[in-house]
Chains A and B, each alone.
Chain A
Amino acid sequence: MIANLVGRIYAFLLGLLIRWGLPRPVFDFGAMIVAGFVVAIFIALVVLYLIWMERKVSAHIQQRFGPMWTGWHGWLQTIADAVKLLMKEDLTPTNVDKAVFLTAPFVVFVPSIMAYLVIPFSATWIVRDLNIGILYIFAITTLVVIAILMGGWSSNNKYSLLGGMRTAAQIISYEVPLVLSILGVVMLSGTLSMNGIVQAQGKWPWQWYWLPQILGFLIYVTAATAEVNRTPFDLPEGESELVAGFNTEYSGMKFAMFFLAEFANMFLVAAIATTLFLGGWQPFTGLLGFICFMIKSMAVVWLLMVFRWTYPRLRVDQLMDFGWKILVPLSFVNLFATSLIMVLRK
Chain B
Amino acid sequence: METAVLDRLHTEEFLVNMGPQHPATHGVLRLILKMDGEQVISVTPDIGFLHRNFEKICENRTYPQIMPYTDRLDYVAAMTNNWAYARTVEALMKVEVPKRAEYLRVIFGELQRIASHLVFWGCMGGDTGAVSPFLYGLRERERILDLFEMTCGARLTVNYYRIGGVSKDLPAGFHEKAKAFVKYFKPKLKEYAELLSGNVIFQKRMKGIGNLSQNAALALAVSGPVLRGSGIRWDLRKDEPYSVYPELQFEVPVGERGDAWDRYLVRFKEMEQSLQIVEQALDQIPPGDLLAKIPKVLRPPKGEVYVRTECPRGELGFYLVSDGSTKPYRIKCRSSCFVHVSALPEMLDHKGHLIADAVVTLGSIDIVLGEVDR
* A contacts B directly (C-beta below 8 A): yes
**A→B interface (CB under 8 Å):** 58, 61-64, 158-159, 162, 231-232, 234-235, 238-243, 309-318
B16 sits at the interface (CB 8 A): yes
Report whether B23 and A239 are in contact in the complex, using a CB–CB cutoff of 8 Å: yes
Report whether A62 and B205 are in contact in the complex, using a CB–CB cutoff of 8 Å: no
Chain A residues, Cβ within 8 Å of B195:
310
Bound complex: CA of A309 vs CA of B132, how far in Å? Answer: 6
Q: Which of B145-160 contact A (CB under 8 A)?
A: none
Bound complex: CA of A235 vs CA of B201, how far in Å? Answer: 13
Report whether A234 and B129 are in contact in the complex, using a CB–CB cutoff of 8 Å: yes
B139 sits at the interface (CB 8 A): yes
Bound complex: CA of A62 vs CA of B22, how far in Å? Answer: 23
Chain A residues, Cβ within 8 Å of B129:
231-232, 234, 238, 240, 311-313
Chain A residues, Cβ within 8 Å of B354:
315-317
Chain B residues, Cβ within 8 Å of A317:
354
Chain A residues, Cβ within 8 Å of B356:
235, 238, 241, 315-316
- Of chain A, the residue at the smallest CB distance from B196 is A312
With A241-B24, A241-B355, A316-B354 as contacts: A62 and B132 at CB distance below 8 Å? yes
Bound complex: CA of A238 vs CA of B23, how far in Å? Answer: 10
Q: Return A80 CB to nearest CB of chain B, in Å.
A: 22
Bound complex: CA of A62 vs CA of B196, how far in Å? Answer: 15
- 8 additional A-B pairs beyond A64-B135, A238-B356, beta carbons within 8 Å, are A58-B131, A241-B24, A309-B131, A311-B201, A312-B196, A315-B204, A316-B38, A318-B205
Bound complex: CA of A266 vs CA of B286, how far in Å? Answer: 61
Q: Which of B2-48 contact A (CB under 8 A)?
A: 14, 16, 22-24, 38
Report whether B201 and A243 are in contact in the complex, using a CB–CB cutoff of 8 Å: no
Interface residues of B toward A: which range?
20 to 34
Chain A residues, Cβ within 8 Å of B201:
232, 311-314
Count of inter-chain pairs, beta carbons less than 8 A:
74
Chain A residues, Cβ within 8 Å of B249:
none
Report whether B24 and A240 are in contact in the complex, using a CB–CB cutoff of 8 Å: yes
Chain B residues, Cβ within 8 Å of A314:
201, 204-205
With A158-B14, A314-B205, A315-B354 as contacts: A241 and B132 at CB distance below 8 Å? no
Q: Return A54 CB to nearest CB of chain B, in Å.
A: 12
Report whether A311 and B205 are in contact in the complex, using a CB–CB cutoff of 8 Å: no
B127 sits at the interface (CB 8 A): yes
With A240-B24, A243-B22 as contacts: A312 and B205 at CB distance below 8 Å? yes
**B→A interface (CB under 8 Å):** 14, 16, 22-24, 38, 125-132, 135-136, 139, 195-196, 199, 201-202, 204-205, 354-357, 359
Report whether A312 and B23 are in contact in the complex, using a CB–CB cutoff of 8 Å: no
Nearest 5 pairs of A and B residues by beta carbon: A313-B129, A312-B128, A62-B135, A312-B130, A240-B24
Bound complex: CA of A238 vs CA of B24, how far in Å? Answer: 10
Q: Return A75 CB to nearest CB of chain B, in Å.
A: 23
With A311-B129, A312-B201, A316-B354 as contacts: A241 and B359 at CB distance below 8 Å? yes
- Of chain B, the residue at the smallest CB distance from A244 is B23
What are some 17 contacts across the A-B interface (CB < 8 A)?
A61-B132, A231-B130, A240-B128, A240-B129, A310-B132, A310-B195, A311-B199, A311-B201, A312-B125, A312-B129, A312-B130, A312-B199, A312-B201, A313-B128, A315-B204, A315-B356, A318-B205
- Of chain B, the residue at the smallest CB distance from A159 is B16
Report whether B355 and A242 are in contact in the complex, using a CB–CB cutoff of 8 Å: yes
Q: Return B202 CB to nearest CB of chain A, in Å.
A: 5
Report whether A315 and B205 are in contact in the complex, using a CB–CB cutoff of 8 Å: yes
Q: Return A239 CB to nearest CB of chain B, in Å.
A: 6
Bound complex: CA of A234 vs CA of B356, how far in Å? Answer: 12
Chain A residues, Cβ within 8 Å of B16:
158-159
Which of A162, A239, A241 neighbours the largest number of chain B CB atoms within 10 Å of its CB?
A: A241
Bound complex: CA of A64 vs CA of B139, how far in Å? Answer: 10
Chain B residues, Cβ within 8 Å of A61:
132
Chain B residues, Cβ within 8 Å of A312:
125, 128-130, 196, 199, 201-202, 205
Bound complex: CA of A62 vs CA of B136, how far in Å? Answer: 7
Chain A residues, Cβ within 8 Å of B126:
240
Chain A residues, Cβ within 8 Å of B196:
312
Chain A residues, Cβ within 8 Å of B132:
61-62, 309-310
Bound complex: CA of A270 vs CA of B361, how far in Å? Answer: 36
Chain A residues, Cβ within 8 Å of B22:
243
Q: Return B362 CB to nearest CB of chain A, in Å.
A: 10
Bound complex: CA of A97 vs CA of B359, how far in Å? Answer: 31
- Across the interface, B130 reaches (CB within 8 A) one of A63, A243, A311, A315, namely A311
Bound complex: CA of A310 vs CA of B133, how far in Å? Answer: 8
Q: Return B23 CB to nearest CB of chain A, in Å.
A: 6
- Of chain A, the residue at the smallest CB distance from B360 is A315
Q: Return A241 CB to nearest CB of chain B, in Å.
A: 5
- Of chain B, the residue at the smallest CB distance from A165 is B38
Bound complex: CA of A256 vs CA of B199, how far in Å? Answer: 33
Chain B residues, Cβ within 8 Å of A239:
23
Bound complex: CA of A178 vs CA of B196, how far in Å? Answer: 28
Chain B residues, Cβ within 8 Å of A158:
14, 16
Report whether B131 and A243 are in contact in the complex, using a CB–CB cutoff of 8 Å: no
Bound complex: CA of A316 vs CA of B196, how far in Å? Answer: 20
- Of chain A, the residue at the smallest CB distance from B206 is A312
- Of chain A, the residue at the smallest CB distance from B124 is A312
Chain B residues, Cβ within 8 Å of A64:
135
Q: Return A73 CB to nearest CB of chain B, in Å.
A: 20
Report whether B38 and A63 are in contact in the complex, using a CB–CB cutoff of 8 Å: no
Bound complex: CA of A240 vs CA of B355, how far in Å? Answer: 10
- Of chain A, the residue at the smallest CB distance from B123 is A240
- Of chain A, the residue at the smallest CB distance from B357 is A315
- Of chain B, the residue at the smallest CB distance from A240 is B24
Bound complex: CA of A242 vs CA of B357, how far in Å? Answer: 13
Bound complex: CA of A310 vs CA of B127, how far in Å? Answer: 13
